[in-house]
Structure 1
């Protein structure tokens, strides 16, 4: 097996009495895309900052390319932060020239969509263009590892798909990637997932591993709002797919009892649980 690009063992980070990351372990291997999932405040960005060497762990062991994270190891990866790390008051080409100077790369080209915008200030090109530019800047020095913190947030679906094609192309060429995302369609494109909740890793594995034995039942009522309210008041985990009500990890008897108590008539049908539903169920179980 090739050496892990990222290796974390029992990593913890405390801020005073608050534990932001609690005993988390994960690996990222060459050619592998690992998705880091969880709600806002779950500890994902804090974990990434420790991986980059920008924060020291309070406990546990952490290695980047088999060594303690440092400026030298960071030079071997491409990083796209939530804030993108671009300079709004520099042009597209000036941003790329700055990155080339920092990493020793040569004349990183802007993405095709920004070829004619090289002289425009980054603050004027829109979020979609900025995301694509941040990717180009992260890839210009041919990194061995990508660390991407919500890289497609706020981007239209077509641009998101293209950026993910870029991630997969690099993974196929042997580059590892650690990616955070709130889009479940993107999570399903990862090779493995790590689900964090309140600083802890509550589940790891493939999509099938995360979904596991989570169950879902579609509840078909004349007025979906009444069914949703009845199940929610009964403290049954309930989700919506459009206007289709779905009860998660609840038995048929429990569902029927809750509906009958509220006077709601409905037909029930078992359906496959989604990744999103499984994540919410695991987070609820962990809390």
Structure 2
């Protein structure tokens, strides 16, 4: 049990998010586990994805059992020992799937497919550690999370989670090792990644903005403002009508796959007012807001 707990603590981190708060640049390292059960023996699978400032920098898949760095991180020499990471993730795969089987046994449910997700990491702003976190879900509902207070512990959020809590806290000092991992080892790894990847992490890529619309049966227009291929992730979009901010529906900020992001906003307006609307975009890559007018499209 002690070995399994140690493996669980070591294997759950690979990702980041870059924020700008009060002029201070922030970085994050996040790892995400996804285990999927299958009623047929040997068909369950496991993936682990690392995010550095919101960018995927590696992925592990139980099918090929290798941790594969993603562009541009595959070109950063000395950043990580990927062979060692592959071996580590294989041990983590065994541990996570074993815990998932325990959950299935608890609910006496070996039929169908189920999903266990774990997400954990740390955040650093300037020279100050901000926080570490570790949360898990089962079939989309909160399952268990780690409390990093002075007396750390796993907090069960599901009936089966009480059993998992007992397993993960069975080894003496396990919760303190988990706390130390989040607040010390994770931060140390993040600092090292920032140094190796500073060329990529500190780049500013301005968004490309495009306006489009669709007509509705009522004679109104559904307007869409799409911002894409920008970095870092944080961005704000608004509709302006005669200089005033209007109501909007906001799309999720999504990674494109090349290290940049895209998002959009929509609004329903009378077609006669189309040329009075503009899309207002605020992004770190520019000191001034970008304004795209319908009349210029």
Report the TM-score when normalising by structure 1.
0.27
Higher strand fraction: Structure 1 or Structure 2? 2
Q: Which has the higher contact order (CA 8 A, sep 6+)?
A: 1
Structure number with the higher helix fraction is 1
Question: Structure 2 length as normaliser, TM-score?
Answer: 0.27
